Amino acid sequence: AQTVTQSQPEMSVQEAETVTLSCTYDTSESDYYLFWYKQPPSRQMILVIRQEAYKQQNATENRFSVNFQKAAKSFSLKISDSQLGDAAMYFCAYRSFGSGNTGKLIFGQGTTLQVKP
Amino acid sequence: NAGVTQTPKFQVLKTGQSMTLQCAQDMNHEYMSWYRQDPGMGLRLIHYSVGAGITDQGEVPNGYNVSRSTTEDFPLRLLSAAPSQTSVYFCASRGRGWKQGTQYFGPGTRLTVL
């Protein structure tokens, strides 16, 4: 069974600085997706970024980028130029890819990010 | 598109009561899921559906029922509410195929069982 681990329950960053959130996962599959979701106090789950395992290039979305290390099973999220609106809980998630898969997402425990003005 | 919608946003039940959490999506997505989120934990899968008329159990299905009579709707029923079901519930959907890998979540329902 696949597992996702976020070892940092809480992180803080100064506004305009850069912060990296860690995520490791365990799987025997070769094809899968990895996601970072943001959950602000409103509780809405917002997709931040996604990575397909077959792609070697790290995904980037504006100020958000990932460091995907497939062999190490590591998927960290880097937030550049942090803004007050980035304060939220961040979840790393895994999804299998392949015929018949149900799309089940496996979530890590979450990391609460505080942004200090 | 409204995306994924959920009702109600908040609900308080007494132990033993039953209720239905509603979920609808207007993106013609085949896959729909229900998750629950408890403090200090990520989301856990309750039930899921891969299309109208097809449902299956997820990680924590006990005490919940689902049905999928249409592509758009995927209600979650609590048969006899228990305090252990106090949680935030999220409905999610995604399209078919590997290009449709992203799940879209509804705004959540906060349920308290007294």
**Neighbouring C-alpha atoms within 13 Å toward the C-beta of A95:** 26
Which residue does chain A place closest to B99, by CA atoms?
Answer: A52
* Interior angle at CA A45, CA A40 and CA A49, nearest 5: 100
In order of B13, B66, B111, the CA distances from B20 in angstroms are 11, 9, 11
E-only strand ranges, A53-101: 60-61, 64-69, 74-79, 88-96
List the single residue in B40, B58, B101 with the smallest CB-CB distance to A104.
B58
* In the predicted structure, residue A67 carries a pLDDT above the cut 70: yes
Pairwise CA distance, residues B49 & B31, whole Å:
6
Show residues of chain A in contact with B31, CB under 8 Å.
Answer: 102-103
DSSP for chain B, written as a single string: ---EEEE-SEEEE-TT--EEEEEEESS--SEEEEEEE-TTS-EEEEEEEEETTEEEE-SS-TTEEE--SSSSB--EEESS--GGG-EEEEEEEE-SSGGG---EE---EEEEE-
Closest-CA distance, B57 to chain A, in angstroms, reads 11
* SS3 label, residue A84: helix
Show residues of chain A in contact with B46, CB under 8 Å.
Answer: none
Rounded to 5 degrees, what are φ and ψ at B83?
-55, -30
Tell me what the mean pLDDT of segment B58-75 comes to.
Answer: 95
What is the 3 state secondary structure string of A4-35?
EECCCCEEEEECCCCEEECCEEECCCCCEEEE
Pairwise CA distance, residues A86 & A4, whole Å:
22
Q: Which residue has the higher pLDDT, B61 or A42?
A: B61
Pairwise CA distance, residues A22 & A8, whole Å:
7
Tell me what the mean pLDDT of segment B78-90 comes to.
Answer: 96
* SS3 label, residue A62: coil
Report CA torsion sign: A99, A104, A110, A113.
positive
From the number of C-beta atoms within 10 Å of its C-beta (0-12, 13-18, 19+), residue A90 rates as buried
List the single residue in A43, A97, A104 with the smallest CB-CB distance to B101.
A97
What percentage of chain B carries pLDDT values higher than 70?
94
Instruction: Note whether B42 contacts A50, CB cutoff 8 Å.
Output: no
* In the predicted structure, residue B96 carries a pLDDT above the cut 80: no
Pairwise CA distance, residues B3 & A28, whole Å:
33
Instruction: Note whether B107 contacts A104, CB cutoff 8 Å.
Output: no
* In the predicted structure, residue A60 carries a pLDDT above the cut 80: yes
Which residue does chain A place closest to B92, by CA atoms?
Answer: A45
pLDDT of residue A103: 67
Tell me what the mean pLDDT of segment B90-113 comes to.
Answer: 83
Closest-CA distance, B63 to chain A, in angstroms, reads 20
Q: Which residue has the higher pLDDT, B28 or A63?
A: A63
Show residues of chain B in contact with A38, CB under 8 Å.
Answer: none
